Every structure is written in structure tokens, then in C-alpha cells.
Structure 1
């Protein structure tokens, strides 16, 4: 199963209408880490347990972000790409956190109970299915429906709620001693769109009504705040440049990326973007030297090693990719996604001596991300290649249950029950899965 980071869906995507019409979740270890780093202090300031809030990246070029379906924050890739510095994205995160902390999701949760006729159900739950599957990286997204009028109505906030979320965001930023100027700038961008027709406005404006009073209030706060001139942690600026370069490299056409990041730009972010653009253009003769030069300068950067592994793996060179993935996993042992990519490469080798290592890596993946259906499925394949059919069946049952494939889950769980030692922890888990699959969904 070849679906490593950022590859499959983006073939044929070039920032065209086709790309904008598809909606799905994307995964990327580096970008998820950066956004989590930005968001954690905000969540803490709001009194939320950071690990309780799930952050999802939506593969959509429009400027949008929303919270829905519980403690889930969705950020469009288009919104991230439109930010020029970390404070703007952090301001959006703070605002959306204000909706969570203010209890503005109660109406949404109530409506979700009867939302089968709402197109937002397809959008949000389709995205959730992509999260559960864990398939692929930042390009292996699952289509989850378009942005319709019903979705906009479903996610619509009142002006009072928007104002309350603004005030909460400003308070959270003050508590973290971070400048609120980024939020002011973002609100200004939205305010400028008020003059456009509704069909030309970004979805964020349609679901988050803006007023000049809101902009003025936020600007006044920023001026009065003792942190108005505060800079974010210095590392954030480098993180942000890399994140934008990576999204540009994978989501824009290679020619577009190479125009934006010409060879005369020798910054790390530009070199990163060019390496990705050459890789996506199937020009490994330029891509591999670009990434090798970055690795030579930054030998302990896990994401450069990860990208090198992807370049090689996606071009049928799994044996060469494995050492790069192994180095990335050594440098970021807590990254389930990197371990998952390594596991795919190990299985692709077809070498029975490496299947045991794939099993070990995948065991860590499902420990770190127990809801990752794709990882459970790959673990089942690894067990099967090693001849461990009972545990293969159990892993496949876990995967099927997470995907909502109840008949498949029932079959695999029953198969595991028949072959595992009765009363063992694995047998008990198989029995639980069988019982869960037998129950009718509510």
C-alpha cells in the first residue's frame, strides 16, 4: 500500500478549481507538530486540556477554519497559506478556541443529532472518517463533500458569539503574553471582504460574521495591551516559513512553486520548497541533491530525512528509503506518522527478516494513535506476512471497527476468537470487538 506523505492525492492538483472543489483531511507530521506548538498555550489559557482537542488539516484552498463535532478544530490549508507570520494563524486558533470555551458548540452538537439531511454532516463526518483511516500523508485525503449553503448555515455564529470569541481570544493571547496584532490583521482581511459579493467571499466570513466594530475593538485592545510589541518565540518564525513552503510545494503546481521560490532565494524555506517541487515534478536528479544539501547542514532535522525517504519510496526505491525513514524515526520517536511511513517501506521490501521490525513499529503507531484504522490494517498485513494469523485477524478487526465496517469487523473478530488462546488479553479484546460489531448502531 503506497500512500506516503503528501503524494497520492496531489498528483493532478495544481491550485485549480479541481483542487478547490475537493475536501478532505491531510496528515503531515511536521505541520501537525508546528500547529500543536502554536495551539497548546492557547488551549491551556482557555482551561482546556491540550490533548483533548483534536486538530485537523482540511485540504481546501479557501480561507476557512471551524470547530465542530466536539473538541475538533479544523483549519483549511488555504487559510494557513494565506498567513504571513505565526501571529495571524495563532489569532485564528485563539478565536476558534473562544468558541469552544464559550460553549458556542452546543447548538452545533444539538443539530448534529438530526443532521442527516445537512450537507455539513457529509463534510465533517467525511473528514472524521479520513482521520480514523489514517491513510497516507498530506496528499492521501478522502473526499468529504463540498462547502454548501447548508454547511455555512450549520456553522454560522451570531454576531454576539463572534464578539465573545474575539474577547476570549484577546484574553488568551494576553495570558500567554503574546501579541494580538496578528488577530487584528486577520480580522482586517475579513473586513475587506465585506465589500465583495457573497459568492466571492471566503467561507470564513460567511460563517463568522464580521463588523467594523469588531475590528476596531480588537485593534484598540492590541494598542492598549502591554504585549502589543511582543514577538513570538523566535523559533516560531522559522517554523512558519517552513510550513508555508511545504504547503506551497505540495499543494501548488511545481512551476508555481519554483516561480515563488527562485534559485536566487537561498533561505532554508525556499530550498525546502524547491526540493519538494522538483520531487513532485518527478525530477529526482534535482530533488535529492536539494534535500541532501539541507540534511548536510541540518543532520538532526527529522523532517528532511523523512522527505528524502518519501522521495525514494514513492519512486520505487524502498531499500534506499528505509535508512532515511529510520533516521527520521530515531529523531522523532513520538511521531506515529513517521513510524507508519517507515513500516510501509519495510513491508514493501518483501524481506521476511524486516516484517518483525515493521510489526514493532506499527505496535508503537497504534499505541500513539489507537484510532488510526490505517495503521491497524497495516499491522494486520505485517502479522499476516509473519504467519501470525490470529493477531492479523485481531488487528484487521480493529481497523474494520474504526472504519464502521461492522460485518468485516464481526468476521475478523470471530476468526481471531477461534484461533487465539481463550481467556488471553487478545482473545478478550476480540470478544469485545465481536460483541460491539453485533450490536446495532443507534
Structure 2
């Protein structure tokens, strides 16, 4: 019941978002189980220090080379890939996360939503994650998701200077409380030093939503000096920072760049993982698997390395081997939805629709707003003769992608095929009602 209510609300917000603005520049969100886990590990100490439950705030990576991070709502922080690749230490990335956590803990987002007078704008911006659509990019190996109009989003996300000052002080306090050197916060701000003198078109997006000034930088240095000390770095945090940054760069840079720099990865397993991605992008399966097997000898029970190996095998048309590897990954993954989704795709490719359906259903129960997953689920339902359920999954996928006419069409089709009043029929009805309501506006 709780899940159904969440989906209904998400679809309603999504449909309203579509009519609020036509995307002039869509956000794309990169979904990767390994990177998302690394970000959670880095965020745990600062979130706990902020009084936030780490399990209640999701961190997602936006595929954008510019420098930015922002809070979409009280449960989602988005950070640009360019920001992660620019930063040089775990403490710096933790400072960014601590600052965004401060905006949540200090109530800045809640007040902004409460003060919105335009409901359509609030719908289009306050729950951006309702519109995230995760499809698969074979070259990047990450899920991609569509977002909302960047100029309107920027206006919604912009913080006042007073909010920024409060968030700066809170972030430094959280870092000190967690035993993290607050100098990381100063290091981040130094990156943007002097940008206030540039025209808006030349500033990084972070500047537009987080107003900067010399006074703010001076105050931040004072906070860091007052709260902090040169705390020793946490090897665990640094490992996960290097792993997330290394994997992200391996997928986003060309293979030659990665192979030249892989030796600077900080640990041998990360180096081998990066080399595997580079060889995979060159379609050299033998070298890619050799590198992955080397990494797995160092970390044999690592579900994310197994997930990557499964992905490489699947994208190399080795479906049976991919299934075996994904099954290994799921044994250690603790029910991770992205890894379960990978297993489901591999089973579909191997011709086991019923096995795929089981894996994909379990993944959907954990992440019901992944359109790539919904597409695979529809295929599995169709291949097992469950056309009504296939239409429901297709309707929900189109709704999440903002294709309201298609969503309504498939929802109506599902309602005609399913027993009236059944749970699946009600899901289809939710889509149809919400899509029609949005299209009338």
C-alpha cells in the first residue's frame, strides 16, 4: 500500500512537471551501483553529524562536466560528474555533501517549497526525481535519466547569501563532529574564488545557486579555523573517493587517457577496474576480463566489481557468462536494485524470461521509478504471456519519461486486459487518471 501511494504521487508530480516547462536543457542522471555506494559511504559521517538518516537521503550523479551540487528535495542530493572529477580529496567531496546536508537540516528546502505560490512551478522543480528516467547507455555503462528545465530549476534552487553562510557554518561543524578536516570546505570554495567577477554565462552553475563572495570565503576560513584541526585522513573514505572518481573518469574519458593515468588510482584494484573499462570501450574482451579477474582476486566478494564484470560480459554478447556473474554479484549485493536489474537483463538476453521476471520484480520493489527497468519488465511480462501486466509496465515507463499520451494509451489498454479492481488494474488507472489530468492543464 505504501509503495502504491508513492508511485501515484510520483506520477502526479511528474505529469505536472511536464506541463510546467518544456525541457530546454535536460538533466541526465548517471546510475551506477558502485558509485552510488561510494557516495553513501562518504556521506554517512556528515549526514549522521547533521542529524539526518543516511538511508533517507539519496545522492545521485548528474552527467554534466560543469561544477555544481544541489538539493532537489529533502531526500535527494544531486552532484555533477564534473564536480567529482574536479575535487582532489575525500574531504573536499565530503565538504560538498555536508554543505548540501546543511541546507536540508536547516530547513532551507522545506521553506522554499512552502513559500512557492505557483503550484505548477513547484511540481516541476520540487520533486525533480519523479521525472528521472534511467535508460542504459552502452558506452558509458550507466543508466541515464531525464530531468527538468535548467533555467527554471536554477531559480528554484538558488539560495540566499544568509542561507549560504548558515550552511557553511553548519557544514564545518558537521565535518568537525565527524572527525573530518574542515579544510576540505575551504579547498572547495577556493576553486570558485574570483568567479563573482565573471559574467553569469562564464560562471560555474554552483555559483548561480550558491552565491559566493570574498566575505563568505573569509568567514568560511574562520569557521574552519575555529572548529577544525588537521585531522588525519580516513583511508576508507579516501579509497571510496578514488574508486568513485576513477570509475566515473574511466567511463567518461577516452580509453587512451584512462590507460595513461590508471597507475595513479591509489590502489591496485581501482587501477585494474579502470583498465577493464578502458579495454571494454575498445571492444577488447580478453584484456577487459583479465583486468576484472585481477581486481576480483584482490576483492573476491565485491558485488560492484562482479556487477561491472557482468555488464562487460552482457555488452559483449556473452549472456550465459553474464548471468553467472550477476548471480554471484547478487549474493553479496544486499538486494541492490541496480544489480538485480542487471541480472534480469542478462536473463532476458539468455532466453530465461521467467527467471528475468523474478529478478526484475524484486528490483522494481526497491526502485519503482527506473524506466529502463520498467522496459525490461514489460518485455519479461510479454514473453511470459502476461500482456496486461506488460501494458501496465509500459504505461508507467512512458509516464516516468513524460510521454503522457503514450502512457494513457497503454494504461487504457492494460485496464481492458486486466481484472477490474485488481492491484495491477489500479496501477493502470493511476497512470490514466494522472496523465489525463495533466494533459487537460
Are the equivalent residues in 2 in contact too, given 1:24–1:126 (CA < 8 A)? no
The whole-number CA distance in structure 2 between the counterparts of 1:410 and 1:147 is 27
For residues 259 and 26 of structure 2, what CA distance do their matches in structure 1 show?
24
Q: Which residue of 2 aligns with 1:270?
A: 271
Residues 188-267 of structure 1 aligned to structure 2 (within 5 Å): 188-191=190-193, 193=195, 199-225=201-227, 228-231=229-232, 233-262=234-263, 267=268
Do the aligned partners of 1:166 and 1:218 also contact (CA within 8 Å) in 2? Answer: yes
Residue 384 of structure 1 corresponds to 382
Q: Which residue of 1 aligns with 2:68?
A: 64
Deviation at 1:206, TM superposition (A): 3.8
Give distance in 1, aligned partners of 2:79 and 2:260.
26
- Of residues 365, 373, 384 in structure 2, which corresponds to 1:367? 365
Aligned to 2:406: 408
In the TM superposition, what is the alpha-carbon distance from 1:203 to its structure 2 partner? 2.3
Q: CA 1:275 to 1:263, structure 2 compared with 1: closer, same or farther past 3 Å?
A: farther
Equivalent residue for 1:46? 50
What is the Cα deviation at residue 147 of structure 1?
6.0
CA contact (8 A) 2:134 2:143 kept: no
Could you say which residue in structure 1 is the equivalent of 2:287? Answer: 286
Note closer, same or farther for the CA distance 1:415–1:241 as it changes in structure 2 (3 Å cut). Answer: same
CA distance in 2, matches of 1:231, 1:109: 41
Q: What is residue 136 of structure 2 aligned with on the other side?
A: 136
Q: Find the counterpart in structure 2 of residue 17 from structure 1.
A: none
Q: Which residue of 1 aligns with 2:173?
A: 171
- Alpha-carbon distance between aligned partners in 1 of 2:174 and 2:332, rounded to the nearest angstrom: 32
**Taking structure 2 as the reference length, what is the TM-score of the superposition?**
0.82
CA–CA distance in structure 2, aligned partners of residues 264 and 32 of structure 1: 19
TM score, norm. by length of structure 1: 0.82
1:34 to partner: Cα distance: 1.3
How far residue 410 of structure 1 moved from its aligned partner, in angstroms, is 3.5
8 Å Cα contact 1:397/1:412 also seen in 2: yes
Separation in 2 of the partners of 1:362 and 1:112? 40
Contact 1:23-1:144 at 8 Å conserved across structures: yes
State whether residues 131 and 401 of structure 2, in contact with CA within 8 Å, keep that contact through their aligned partners in structure 1. no
Map of 1:18 onto structure 2: none
Secondary structure at 1:67's aligned position in 2? strand
Instruction: Note if 1:342 corresponds to 2:332.
Output: no
Task: Determine the structure 2 residue equivalent to 1:4.
Answer: none
- 1:164 CA drift (Å): 1.1
Q: CA deviation at 1:401?
A: 3.4
1:291 CA displacement? 1.0
User: 2 CA distance for matches of 1:222 and 1:404?
Assistant: 44
- Do 1:250 and 1:277's aligned partners in 2 also have CA atoms closer than 8 Å? yes
Q: Whole-Å Cα distance in 1 between the matches of residues 128 and 284 of structure 2?
A: 32
Q: 1:141 Cα shift?
A: 2.8
- Aligned mates of 2:432, 2:131 — CA distance in 1: 24
Q: Deviations over 1:180-215 (max 9, x none)?
A: 121121122222555666554422234322233333
Output the CA distance in 2 between the equivalents of 1:92 and 1:173: 11
What's the Cα RMSD here? 3.3
Measure, in 1, the Cα distance between the counterparts of 2:267 and 2:103.
41
Q: Alignment partner of 2:300: what SS?
A: coil
Query: Aligned partners of 1:22 and 1:324: how far apart in 2?
Result: 34
Q: What is the aligned counterpart of 2:118 among 91, 113, 118?
A: 113
Does 2:31 correspond to 1:27? Answer: yes
How far has the Cα of 1:299 moved from its partner? 1.1
| 1:293 to 1:195, Cα distance in 2 relative to 1, 3 A | same
- How far did residue 153 of structure 1 move? 5.0
Gap runs ≥5 in structure 2: 1-24
| Shift in alpha-carbon separation, 1:316–1:173, aligned structure 2, 3 A | same
* Matched residue SS, 1:282: coil
